[in-house]
Structure 1
Amino acid sequence: MEELPECPVCLQNYDDENAIPRVLSCGHTVCEACLVQLHQRFPNTIRCPACTQLVKYSPKQGPSSLPKNIDLLRLFLQQQDSTDKNQLRKSNQRSSINSINDEYSARFWSDEFYVAWKDWILPHDAISVGDDGFGLFSSSSKGRVCFGVNRRVSLVPIVTLPTVSDLKFKFSYVAWIIKCLEGLNEVVRDGLCLILEASVRRGWFCRVYGLWGEVSDGTLYLVCERHCGRVLDKFSGLWNGDGLELDKGRVCSFAMIAKGVIEAVIALNLEGLVAGCLGLSCFSFEELGGVCIDLNEVLAMGRKIRDEVSGCMGDEHEAMYMDILDNEIFVSPEVLSKLSNKGVIISPESGDSRYPIGYGSDVWSLACVLLRLLIGNAFPRITLVVSEENGLVVLASYISWVEKVNSVLEEKFGSEYLSLKQTLCKCLDINPGSRPDVVDVRKCIQDVLAKHQFGFLGNAEITVNRNNIDHPVILAMLFQLVEESSKELSEHEVKEDGSQPDFLQGAENKSDEDFVASLSNRMTGMTELKDLQGHLGCITGLAVGGGYLFSSSFDKTVRVWSLQDFSHLHTFRGHENKVMALVYVDDEEPLCISGDGGGGLFVWGITAPLRQDPLRKWYEQKDWRFSGIHSLAAFGNLLYTGSGDRTIKAWSFKDGTLMCTMNGHQSVVSTLSVCDGVLYSGSWDGTIRLWSLNDHSPLAVLGENLPGEMKSILAITANRDFLVAAYENGCIKVWRNDVFMNSKTLHSGAIFAMSMHGKWLYTGGWDKNVNIQELSGDELELNVNAFGSIPSSSVVTAILCSREKLYVGYGDKSIKVSFFFQ
């Protein structure tokens, strides 16, 4: 059975009651019910749902003023009895005609990724790096956070990329950080998430403010609050370096501080994090006197250890390990073994150098911290022995070292605190699986407090439920993973067909400069292809079509370039004045049309072979206000010109006949754009006027009631989602569905050129930069997010983004072409 015709909006079959077919002036048919519900952006017009053309429609008279489609009604009556009533309405597809897929909606990063990280990015001016040098081992810089309150902070580099001075593209601050995060190893990102979220949920950590970067030196930092009151400073009044005295007050003070240190480590483990190494400098007192752990200091220690162990061979490990101990860094044997990747630690019993890293690793480091506080400088040093057989570093005397620790404790405390001494020595077992849990260490400290009648400070048992954190993130390992992830990036290669390049994995022996260049190319997809030279004056316009790139200039010519290899093919000559604008037209035959400052309009044929003389030319009538053609646009078989006499004129480019003149602007019509049946005209009077391409009637005026000083509009661009206007003061204004949404200053001078590619906006002007913005948001809010910029040595005068390439014309007479992949 032949299917019945449907309304293009609701997809309901036409009938003579609910879905009466009405014929629009464009020739398409829509049901009467949908005509009532169609949105009217402009007075007395609606947009045809089938062809999107603006057509006349009177809301007062309603659909009844339009003729019925008799042929469709007759077909309905013939098929009425055989129609399946269950298919009369497809409710789930109503308004499907309005769901438009934006073919250029691809982003450099996903919405989910941006939303997850954007709130952790600190403003660039939020941090003031101090002059007080660097922190521990120069791994953590010092500074101040300048928003809200003035607080001291520590900065630990997450990833540092060597800088290359001649990169063609410069990221905006936020985009650079987002892309750095996107390029990190997934384990590293998960670790950063845990760190950032843990500092919010728990009070045992120094506050982590977020992420901050210095684009100039390519370093991304984690910013953490830095407290002045360190645990070690507190003990300076309790012991003189030889350990703790045995009087009740000092022992209780130690136990109370040790309890805070232990609970900070427990809180760290509960977040699924393992430090991997700890030191006295990792713990400090917050404002209310509680002990907190400085995660930045832990990360800085991990970086220090990684730097120390890399490149060490043979007996160099002994000096390395001694240096680590001298600097109060207590790294467990299994973590040190993993970081060195050389089998640093070998158990005398099993010969196995690969004990698992986990929560037991923090137990070892924690025990060393507590022992250092208890016995001071008497804490024995670990001696390393090098095996001559296999060249590996062996802890042959590890058991002897543990016995020395036990002996020092016996000498210091005698028979007192037996449980504490035994527990701390067990924490030093070479096998992480044989060490007690951190809660067992806490219980011993609680027993010390209870012995001195301080049990009221808290005897509640803590159970560490690790069911969901069986695979913790090892903070000391994050930097190693960052290093590994950077090796996965390889050189950017552009395929001959212009398709998205494949990024090879595991590239080796790449220089730092190659790595940064390839990272930039990978993140931007931007590679300069050609620098086109030949014009003798400033570039004024660019157009693409028919396999050619067209460029106009103040030198009174239009040049034709091949899109295959960007070689110069031909020069159109004939204008007697500066060529101000040009447009490509693909009607019955492909044409290039140019307009000059003297009012001349030239139509050039672009079928091979290219001819020197224009197919047609004519001149606009001059009067005392006339200053030539400033802008061009084409639709159908009509050419539209924006002129110095404040008018927009519609011409038949077949014979140069003037079809219509549109009046309304109060100054030069500097820019024109066509989209969805609407002609947009921008003027030096600071307004945008909208005209129907159906009958050239005025539809709306935008910008005249906006607050602020009126500035000249130099460029406009429009698509189905946005209308953007660029002004002489470096500002842009954005409308959605002709409703003003946002305004933002992008340049330090006039914006002469602009192009839009989906949601990506490219602007250029007096400050010699091409700035790239992303337009995002919803119906209630629109954001203009800076992505980056392309610096140059000349004023930007023309921009065109077409077919995955970015074309930029400059005041120095050159044209640069870049690939741009999304």
Structure 2
Amino acid sequence: MEELPECPVCLQNYDDENAIPRVLSCGHTICEACLVHLPPRFPNTIRCPACTQLVKYSPNQGPSSLPKNIDLLRISLQQPQHSSSSQKSNQRSSINDEYAYSSKFWSDEFYAAWKDWILPHDAVSVTEDGVGRFNSSSKGRVCFGVNRTVSLAPIVTLSSVTDSKFKFSYVAWVIKCLEGMNEVVGEGLGLILEASVRQSRLCRVYGLWSEVVGGSLYLVCERQCGRVLEKFGGLMNEGGLDSDKDVFYSFAMIAKGVIEAVIGLNLEGLVAGCLGISCFCFDELGGVCIDLNEVLLMGRKIMDQVSGGTDDEPSHESMCTECLDLENELFVSPEVLSKFLNKRVVNPESGDSRYPIGYGSDVWSLACVLLRLLIGNELPQITFEMSEGNGFDISASYISWVEKVSSVLEEKIGFEYLSLKQTLCKCLDINPENRPDVVDLRKSIQDLLVKHQFVFLGNSELTVKRNNTGHPVTLAKLCQLLEESSKDPREHELQAKEDGGQPNILQGAENISDEEFTASLSQGMIELKDLQGHLGCITGLAVGGGYLFSSSFDKTVRVWSLQDFSHLHTFRGHENKVMALVYVDDEEQLCISGDSGGGIFVWGIDAPLSQDPLRKWYEQKDWRFSGIHSLTAFGNLLYTGSGDRTIKAWSLKDGTLMCTMDGHKSVVSTLSVCDEVLYSGSWDGTVRLWSLNDHIPLAVLGEDLPGEIKSILAITAGRDLLVAAYENGCIKVWRNDVFLSSKTLHNGAIFAMSLQGKWLYTGGWDKNVNIQELSGDELELTVNTFGSIPSGSVVTAILCSQGKLYVGYGDKSIKVYRAK
């Protein structure tokens, strides 16, 4: 059955009551009901939903003043109505994502997951002695005090590309480091951050911080002044527990706090894997907590000792000629050490790796910490002897060490505390399955306190999954993964390109899209070419027809090849400084330039390139005249912004003046066209909008904004976004003509700007090209600084096109950049 004509917006069949077809001046037909509900951006004007052309209607009658489409209405009324015809199996979306193609450096989900944990660059200061201090009043989800001492643990360091011209912003570098981590490290780090908020037994974590862009990313934790070993350590050295009941009480209470701190860690799905006395400290209220940074640093210490303190992989032969002595403050379970050794020894069967890492691993390390508190320096040190056939004989070394510990305990602990000795020795069993749970260890301490009629607080109504069940994240193992993540995942790809001897860096670059260009910025940026030849400041750049065009104060327009950026031709004829440049591809391909004397030259770009312009004309001069300052084109019309405060529309065919638009109070410095709207920016600090259909004014932006009036030097428009750049270094952003945001980007005037999707490129007086990402929704917009390209000269022109960034400078040069 033939389908009836329907409205392209609401998909309803046309009729003479509810869906009356109305013909717009652009030729499209929309039902009257949809036209009534379309939001009017400008007075008595609607935008066609099909082609976005602006359509005027009578101010008194509204959309009903538009003519009916009689032919469509007749067809709709002659055919019988079927309810099924209005139901479509494939519904068409009425809303398009304007920037769906724009590649983001980070996804919204990834940025939202980490943004609250990224500390500002000035939140942490490092003193000369290497001590860090947190000096921000608040950050993230928890408020902290100021001027607190912090500990810094390096999380990841990405190798920067030395030949990159691109410099990341601080936040972009932190996100790059986070993206460089593998999935296991990212999940583990996320667990640590979340656990620090929920668990009072963990030292407070402020967040993530990097000292410099290109340096390491640190986990910032609060450093507690009172370490457990400093307040209680080795008190049993001079006698057994029977010698002083108060000493045992002190030990039991501290031991109970240490155990509960480990329980808090395990309840968050985290396993330390190795512990030491330095991992535990007292908080302001006297409670024992774990310093997560110290746990990570301890894991690195063990890695350094196992690897011999070098980054190179030790050979099996060299490791079989020495003994491995772990520091007496590092306590690592057999199964964890085995995993470390398997990473470092050529023979993967060396060591004892048959037991998995789990919560039982912390029971072993925890028992060692309690023994260190209990008997002090008399705790024997573990030494792993070599076995020529099997490398490190971990099992034999551990069993021998446990026997020594048991012997020392018999001397230090009286018969009354025999149960404590048995429990601690059981925690040191080589098999994690035979060790008691950490909750059972706490219960044994509590039972001793009850037996001796000591008062204590706490309960044992807790359950921690045993050993390897539940797949906890092991912090000691995380250290190995962090080391593996310290290299940029793209480094191998870059190295492969270098090894392959890429013949010409220009080859293959011409097919890179703008989307791929912005997506590749995180890999850095290289200078592709430095174009020399102009004798004056660069004033304009344009790309088209296989050429790059550049204008300059030297009164010329140069033509460059986009294949190898060689100089092909120079257009001469201007008697004054060339101020603006535009490429037109309508009925014919043209390059048009305007100068400070009012001259407008139209150049043909068909090969061979001619020295003479196809046509030229001059603006009429009067006492206010100061030449052409800006150019843009639409269809067969050229628009010029002039020093006489007007915008003029010229016919490209013969240079006839078609229209003059008045309204600005100073020089019209910049022009832009988007969706059949002409935008003009002026030194008077305002942006005016004009209809391209009849050249009548639509709106004025910026005149009602608070603050001192600053000259607008550049504007750029893309779909519903309008960005204006000012002489004081700030930008202002409007969406659908509603002001959203203002931000200072440069130290000094912004002379040039280019917008590609959500990526904004700006340059100016401070000699930097800054790259920002515009993100947000209809109600809010955020300008995220992504990075910059430092240079030695003022930036005067910017163009992002065909996967490359073209930048013109005040020192007469043009540089071409490409993402790695």
Deviation at 1:485, TM superposition (A): 3.0
**Amino acid in the other structure paired with 1:590:** Q
1:27-426 alignment runs, 5 A limit: 27-78=27-78, 80-81=79-80, 83-88=81-86, 96-133=93-130, 142-147=132-137, 148-161=145-158, 166-216=163-213, 218-236=215-233, 238-239=235-236, 246-311=243-308, 321-322=324-325, 324-326=326-328, 328-341=329-342, 352-392=352-392, 394=394, 396-426=396-426
Deviation at 1:780, TM superposition (A): 1.7
CA distance, structure 1, for counterparts of residue 247 and residue 259 of structure 2: 18
1:236–1:383 distance in 2 versus 1, CA, 3 Å? closer
In structure 1, the residue matched to 2:766 is 767
Deviation at 1:71, TM superposition (A): 1.5
Deviation at 1:617, TM superposition (A): 0.3
Deviation at 1:50, TM superposition (A): 1.8
CA distance, structure 1, for counterparts of residue 428 and residue 511 of structure 2: 58
**Amino acid in the other structure paired with 1:569:** L
Deviations 1:140-198 (A, max 9, x none): x5333433422111011111245666531111111110111011111111111010000
Deviations 1:590-625 (A, max 9, x none): 111110111000001111121111100000011111
Deviations 1:17-37 (A, max 9, x none): 211111122222211111111
CA distance, structure 2, for counterparts of residue 701 and residue 672 of structure 1: 14
1:24–1:459 distance in 2 versus 1, CA, 3 Å? closer
Q: How many residues align?
A: 790
Deviations 1:381-427 (A, max 9, x none): 22322113354455534323211111111111131222211111111
Deviation at 1:44, TM superposition (A): 1.4
Contact 1:673 1:679 in 2 (8 A): yes
Contact 1:678 1:691 in 2 (8 A): yes
Deviation at 1:243, TM superposition (A): 7.5
User: Which deviates more, 681-690 or 561-570?
Assistant: 561-570
**Amino acid in the other structure paired with 2:229:** L
CA distance, structure 2, for counterparts of residue 188 and residue 759 of structure 1: 30
Give the TM-score, by structure 1 length: 0.91
**Amino acid in the other structure paired with 1:693:** L
Contact 1:729 1:749 in 2 (8 A): yes
**Amino acid in the other structure paired with 2:307:** S
Contact 1:318 1:383 in 2 (8 A): no
1:677–1:15 distance in 2 versus 1, CA, 3 Å? same
1:424–1:567 distance in 2 versus 1, CA, 3 Å? same
CA distance, structure 2, for counterparts of residue 565 and residue 441 of structure 1: 74
Q: CA RMSD in A?
A: 2.6
SS of 2:771 mapped into structure 1 = strand
User: Which deviates more, 62-71 or 644-653?
Assistant: 62-71
1:670-709 alignment runs, 5 A limit: 670-709=669-708
Deviations 1:437-486 (A, max 9, x none): 21221111111111121365234332214699621111112232122234
Deviation at 1:332, TM superposition (A): 1.7
Give the TM-score, by structure 2 length: 0.92
CA distance, structure 2, for counterparts of residue 398 and residue 347 of structure 1: 19
SS of 2:565 mapped into structure 1 = coil
SS of 2:128 mapped into structure 1 = strand
SS of 2:201 mapped into structure 1 = coil
1:661–1:241 distance in 2 versus 1, CA, 3 Å? farther
CA distance, structure 2, for counterparts of residue 364 and residue 753 of structure 1: 64
1:670-819 alignment runs, 5 A limit: 670-819=669-818
Contact 2:714 2:726 in 1 (8 A): yes
CA distance, structure 1, for counterparts of residue 164 and residue 647 of structure 2: 43
Contact 1:104 1:758 in 2 (8 A): yes
CA distance, structure 2, for counterparts of residue 373 and residue 33 of structure 1: 81
**Amino acid in the other structure paired with 1:687:** T
CA distance, structure 2, for counterparts of residue 526 and residue 347 of structure 1: 41
The answer for unaligned runs of 5 or more in structure 2 is: 138-144, 309-313, 498-504, 514-518
**Amino acid in the other structure paired with 1:619:** Y
Contact 1:275 1:362 in 2 (8 A): yes
User: Which deviates more, 441-450 or 677-686?
Assistant: 441-450
CA distance, structure 2, for counterparts of residue 810 and residue 469 of structure 1: 63
SS of 1:762 mapped into structure 2 = strand
In structure 2, the residue matched to 1:509 is none
User: Which deviates more, 480-489 or 204-213?
Assistant: 480-489
Deviations 1:104-136 (A, max 9, x none): 322111110000000000111111112333xxx
1:9–1:91 distance in 2 versus 1, CA, 3 Å? farther
**Amino acid in the other structure paired with 1:329:** L
1:243–1:6 distance in 2 versus 1, CA, 3 Å? farther
CA distance, structure 2, for counterparts of residue 643 and residue 246 of structure 1: 98
CA distance, structure 2, for counterparts of residue 344 and residue 50 of structure 1: 68
In structure 1, the residue matched to 2:573 is 574
In structure 2, the residue matched to 1:534 is 533
Once the two structures are aligned, what percentage of the paired residues are identical? 78
**Amino acid in the other structure paired with 1:774:** E
User: Which deviates more, 613-622 or 310-319?
Assistant: 310-319
CA distance, structure 2, for counterparts of residue 764 and residue 695 of structure 1: 34
**Amino acid in the other structure paired with 2:327:** L
Contact 1:243 1:376 in 2 (8 A): no
Deviations 1:664-718 (A, max 9, x none): 0010000000001110000000000000001000001000110111000000000
CA distance, structure 2, for counterparts of residue 116 and residue 142 of structure 1: 25
Deviation at 1:55, TM superposition (A): 1.5
Deviation at 1:307, TM superposition (A): 2.0
User: Which deviates more, 449-458 or 793-802?
Assistant: 449-458
SS of 1:132 mapped into structure 2 = coil
In structure 2, the residue matched to 1:8 is 8
Contact 2:576 2:597 in 1 (8 A): yes
User: Which deviates more, 180-189 or 436-445?
Assistant: 436-445
CA distance, structure 2, for counterparts of residue 462 and residue 246 of structure 1: 34
CA distance, structure 2, for counterparts of residue 444 and residue 783 of structure 1: 56
In structure 1, the residue matched to 2:610 is 611
CA distance, structure 2, for counterparts of residue 31 and residue 719 of structure 1: 28
The answer for unaligned runs of 5 or more in structure 1 is: 134-140, 502-519
CA distance, structure 1, for counterparts of residue 323 and residue 601 of structure 2: 78
CA distance, structure 2, for counterparts of residue 732 and residue 347 of structure 1: 59
User: Which deviates more, 237-246 or 657-666?
Assistant: 237-246
**Amino acid in the other structure paired with 2:85:** Q
Deviation at 1:364, TM superposition (A): 1.2
Contact 2:732 2:742 in 1 (8 A): yes
CA distance, structure 2, for counterparts of residue 354 and residue 801 of structure 1: 58
Deviation at 1:634, TM superposition (A): 0.4
In structure 1, the residue matched to 2:141 is none
SS of 2:644 mapped into structure 1 = coil
CA distance, structure 1, for counterparts of residue 31 and residue 246 of structure 2: 91
CA distance, structure 2, for counterparts of residue 673 and residue 468 of structure 1: 64
**Amino acid in the other structure paired with 2:60:** K
CA distance, structure 2, for counterparts of residue 347 and residue 39 of structure 1: 69
Matched, 1:543 2:555: no
1:200–1:3 distance in 2 versus 1, CA, 3 Å? same
